[in-house]
Amino acid sequence: MDIKPSHVTDPAVLKHLFTHHLNKLYYGKLYIKNNLAHLIEVASFKALQLALQELQEDAEKHLNRLDEVYNALNITPSDEECIPVKAIFKETFALEKKGIGMELLGDMNIMLYMQLIEHINITAFRMLRILGKALQLNDIEQLLLEGFDESIDDDRLFMMITNEYLSTQGYE
């Protein structure tokens, strides 16, 4: 498909793209919120469990902010498939389903995939902020910025926990 210059500046196209990415982010966060309890149970490292609990609380805050964005723009959330986030979560659970009970492998997978999910969130918030600026949606910029910053903080948290976990295992 050739991208025409008019598509890049057409407010209807930009709003469609914004809504598409907003839906992906929203339903990804909803999926995370609804499925983190199991990961908290499976994690063996206490700091990891606490970080997952914090992530669960952050997901709730993200969803509340995204609800504000939907309301401000008079948009109704649409349940689009959120395949990347669901695929990552299914991969996280795969080791348990295969009966591999190694705590190190399970904990490391959780830490890896949580960081991967946060990178997806960071990119999604970045995309929404760019599209929001193009659409001159100044009234929602702060909500998107808070979500963006929180995702960066969550990513850093899981990176610190990974470093801490590996040092307690003697792998530093």
Specify the pLDDT at position 92.
67
Specify the pLDDT at position 7.
59
Q: Which candidate, 59, 41, 40, places its Cα nearest to that of 51?
A: 40
* Each residue's pLDDT tens digit, 60-114: 999 999 999 999 999 999 876 667 777 776 776 665 555 555 677 788 888 988 8
66-86 burial by CB neighbour count: b if 16+ within 10 A, else e?
A: beebbeebeeebeeeebeebe
Percent helix, strand and coil across the chain, each to the nearest 5: 85, 0, 15
Element of type H or E holding 82: none
- CA distances 76 to 23, 29, 96, Å, are 9, 16, 37
Is the distance from CB of 29 to CB of 59 less than 8 angstroms?
yes
When the pLDDT of each residue in the chain is averaged and rounded to a whole number, the result is 85
- Three-state secondary structure readout of 95-164: HHHCCCCCHHHHHHHHHHHHHHHHHHHHHHHHHHHHHHHHCCCHHHHHHHHHHHHHHHHHHHHHHHHHHH
* Each residue's pLDDT tens digit, 25-50: 998 888 888 888 988 988 888 999 99
Is the distance from CB of 39 to CB of 52 less than 8 angstroms?
yes
**Where do the domains of the chain lie, and which CATH numbers do they carry?**
9-168 (1.20.1260.10)
- Structure tokens, 128: 């929404």
Specify the pLDDT at position 172.
53
Specify the pLDDT at position 139.
92
The mean per-residue pLDDT over the stretch 142-157 comes to 95
Count CB-CB contacts under 10 A for residue 160. 12
